Chains A and B, each alone.
Chain A
Amino acid sequence: MAVVSRGFGARRRESDPRLPPGQYLTEDFPVLSAGPTPRIEQDEWRFGIRTEGGDAVSWTWDEFMALPIEDVHTDIHCVTRWSKLGTSWRGVSLDTLLDTVDTDAEYAMAHSYGGYTTNVPLEDLLGGKAWVAFEFEGEPLDPEHGGPARLLVPHLYFWKSAKWVRGLTLMADDEPGFWEQNGYNMHGDPWTEERYW
């Protein structure tokens, strides 16, 4: 039985079935990151995938733009409890990208410019569930939101959607990334509140 806080509740917000437990709606787009915003030009940007066997593939910006591009409409949920509904993105599906490599790996570590890392099970990246996104609401992605490109894994808490993404390393075994080493959950499902260890 939760402790009741005397007099609380007068300013309560509307609830919405699209909100996972413990989340509240925000209209703006908060910025959360661990350090300064990296500034990466499109012509120096690369996205690469390295398999558990050491094979590697990578794309330049122009090569990336020649891949099939998808429109994505989705809700996003930050572990710090804000959620944003009905956001629009454009990007390349991880199905398209991972289709180019031969792997039996079950996990991926996403790596970012600036040194950030986060681990994601491969099954959470495949099946139309994840993208490398470079447009938000019809505009190029701002650097402070991860531009030129970020991972977009909207069914997990947003710290898994690594900003300034530059590649994936595929792994047979799970390993913690940056926030995971600092107390956050290895998986991060908002609907079961997988926030912390």
Chain B
Amino acid sequence: MTVGGWRPGRVVEAISATRSARILRLEVPGWPGNDAGQHVDIRLTAEDGYQAVRSYSLGSYGASETVELAVDEIPDGEVSPYLVEDVLPGDELEVKGPLGGYFVWRPGGEAPVQLIAGGSGIVPMMAMVRAATDAGAAAAVRLLYSVRTPEDAIYRDELELRAGDGGVGLTWRYTRAAPDGWPDVVGRVDDELLRTAVWAPDRQPIVYVCGPTGFVEHVADALVGLGHASARIRTERFGGA
């Protein structure tokens, strides 16, 4: 797997996703396409030549030259506030990738598939949900999505749409506040939820967990405790600036 050099990318769409997150679509001429779950490096250059690079998961997959990021703003960050608040359609940046050959799902890949996302950890999962739905494999895929409140859910409408008849199994877990009349517990993902909303260990699912470090540590530990094989649990964690 060879990663090419920096490619110029042009912002073609910038859509508000939540109070703190924005979905960016970038046109990247020559983009070779990417698997669901891969990420890119984004390089920003100031007028005086100063540069900063950060990695972002791709919400998109496949052969298009348009790629999609969903960026959650880190309040004291250097790059994410620019991408969430400042960048506009027509602006240019640079893209390197696709990167990562491990936290990926490909059509025809292992099944059943369990996706467990915390917060903006949904982004690579969205690419996998899209890939699985488009490949007719949605029934083998379950997604457990933990967010603080309904307003904090990135991709909420599309996920509901893809969880319709015969679609992806979708379970929401709200950790701070749920919609009115919500029938389930509000609080962090616990063993009870991991027993009921996740494919059972004897089905031998491949499990992808993505989110903040504390979330991923807790969920991965709990899954092992419930009998899931470590080797079938893939994690991607984020934290820091």
Contact = CB atoms under 8 A, between A and B. Distances in A.
Contacts of B6: 2
Interface stretch (B51-59, B129-137, B164-172): B51-59
B22 interface: no
How many chain B residues sit at the interface, stated as a range, is: 35 or more
Contacts of B237: 30-33
Contacts, number: 123
Contact of A3 (B8, B213, B234): B8
Contacts of B8: 3
B231 A197 contact: no
B78 A2 contact: no
B3 A196 contact: yes
Interface in B79-110: 81-82, 86-88, 91-94, 99-103
A7 B82 contact: yes
Nearest to B55: A80
Contacts of B101: 181-183
Nearest to A181: B101
A61 interface: no
A179 B77 CA distance: 28
B44 interface: yes
A80 B55 CA distance: 7
B234 A34 contact: yes
A24 B50 CA distance: 13
A5 interface: yes
A111 B88 CA distance: 47
Nearest to B8: A3
B48 interface: yes
B217 A82 contact: no
Contact of B220 (A4, A35, A181): A35
Given A5-B92, A36-B230, A81-B54, A31 B213 contact: yes
B240 interface: yes
Contacts of A140: none
Contact of B102 (A81, A144, A182): A182
Interface residues of A, number: 38
Contacts of B177: none
Interface in B190-241: 213, 217, 220-221, 223-224, 230-231, 233-235, 237-241
Contact of A2 (B43, B223, B238, B240): B43
B241 A24 contact: yes
A8 B86 contact: yes
Nearest to B86: A7
Nearest to A23: B53
Interface in A1-35: 2-13, 22, 24-26, 28, 30-35
Interface of B: 1-3, 6, 8, 43-55, 77-78, 81-82, 86-88, 91-94, 99-103, 213, 217, 220-221, 223-224, 230-231, 233-235, 237-241
25 contacts: A2-B6, A2-B43, A2-B45, A3-B8, A3-B45, A3-B93, A7-B87, A8-B44, A8-B45, A8-B46, A8-B82, A8-B86, A9-B46, A9-B47, A9-B48, A11-B82, A26-B240, A30-B213, A33-B237, A35-B234, A36-B220, A36-B224, A114-B230, A183-B3, A197-B2
